[in-house]
Amino acid sequence: MERRILLNVVKRDPERCLIEAAAGRTVAFQGDAVDAPILCCGHCRAELVVGVDRHRLTNMVIECKRCGSYNDTRELSNGSLTMTVDKDPTA
């Protein structure tokens, strides 16, 4: 089972750190934390952060290269949508 968290889509705020993936990619951060959920764009569900604990990404906004949405890495008090997905090993 793999956990995915849909990040909250926000408006661009020049006061906050903006992160974007390299050209041709959607993943902005790649790590090796096996228990960390995959953080996904709250609009198009593209993978933005893989293998990195969400608490290491404080006060950042990640621009999705697929759809252009700005995604907040902070956990809001009402929480984000978390999905548990059976990963198909043949995919």
Domain range annotation of the chain = 2-74
First to last CA, the chain: 14
pLDDT at 54: 83
pTM assigned to the model? 0.81
The whole-angstrom separation of Cα 18 and Cα 90 is: 35
| Beta-strand relationship, 2-6 and 81-85 | antiparallel
Per-residue tokens: 2? 């793999």
Summarised one tens digit per residue, pLDDT across range 43-78 is 999 999 999 988 888 889 999 999 999 999 987 655
